[in-house]
Amino acid sequence: MNREEALTARLLPRPLVFNGWPQVRRIAVPLAAALCALLVWELACRVFQVSKVTAPAPSDVIGVLYRGSDVILPHAIATLREVVIGFVCATTLGLALALLITLYRPVKEAVFPNLVVLQFIPKIALAPLFIVWFGIETESRVAFATFMGFFPVMISTIAGLSAAPPHLVRYAHSLRATHWQVFTTIRVPAALPYIFSSSKIAVSLSVIGIVVGEFITSQRGLGYLVLFASSKADTSLMFASVACLSAGGMALFGVVTAIEKLALRKYCSF
């Protein structure tokens, strides 16, 4: 194409083309699959007359959510608040340990092997100890959620800080950049994808940690509501509580994903 043709192509009005189908498909396909699964579940419960105690139909669960929203909502807010606090604490602790281990070799040699060994201990078995150490209130559940979620963040951050492109590091050193400048301008941006990937894992682990704590000792929260519904054989309320847990976890996952996109767009150029 010569200059005249290129200029003509730029000046002529372009037809409007919608390029958002990949994004629409990414949302529509799993949503349609979930709706189909719920429809099959509903039809199976009605056709085979499955007892509500065994497996309530989705319509029964939705009815419980609608009629009992004034009861479920305070429990959901209490659980979600503790999940957010536990997630923030787990992420902060994981990042802090990763920075110490990366920057200071004695810390890596002394602490890192012990942290790895600690991960082979069944965490659920330690939940009662957190009740003994921190009491029966929010502190014990948040501490246990932090314990559940910090390790993936730490491991992934260490891997990310070591994954900076070597040619950029050498080029920065050739320009007499300090180690701190190399760390903040090259290594940290290179580690952002690793950090956010592990943060998404920490979201689910924080939810698990809070719910386990509510199972052991709590008078509020969705975990407590699940146990209460189980004692009353109210399976519909159990499913409704689990649905609220899933929705809250997905919402927090979405927030982390949105922050990830903004951070990568701003700081990652390589």
Q: What is the pLDDT along the chain (270 residues), one digit of tens a residue?
A: 555 555 445 444 555 555 566 777 777 888 888 899 989 998 988 888 888 878 888 888 898 888 888 888 999 999 999 999 999 999 999 999 999 998 888 888 888 888 888 888 888 888 888 888 888 888 999 999 999 999 999 999 999 888 888 888 888 878 888 888 888 888 888 889 999 999 999 999 999 999 988 888 778 888 889 988 888 888 888 999 999 999 999 999 999 999 998 888 887 655
* Domain-embedded: residue 158: yes
Residue 175, both tokens: 């320009």
* Domain-embedded: residue 149: yes
Domain tally for the chain? 1
* Domain-embedded: residue 16: no
* Domain-embedded: residue 214: yes
* Domain-embedded: residue 14: no
Distance between CA atoms of residues 19 and 130, nearest Å = 51
* Domain-embedded: residue 19: no
What phi-psi label fits residue 12: left (phi over 0), alpha (psi between -120 and 50 degrees) or beta?
beta
* Domain-embedded: residue 263: yes
Distance between CA atoms of residues 249 and 161, nearest Å = 28
pTM score of the predicted model = 0.83
Domain containing residue 79: CATH number: 1.10.3720.10
Distance between CA atoms of residues 61 and 101, nearest Å = 48
As separate numbers, helices (DSSP H) first and strands (DSSP E) second, the chain gives 12, 0
* Domain-embedded: residue 27: no
CB distance 241 to 222 below 8 Å: yes
Residue 160, both tokens: 């990310």
Using the Cα atoms of residue 98, residue 261, residue 83 and residue 124 in order, give the sign of their dihedral.
negative
The residue range of the domain holding 238 is 66-267
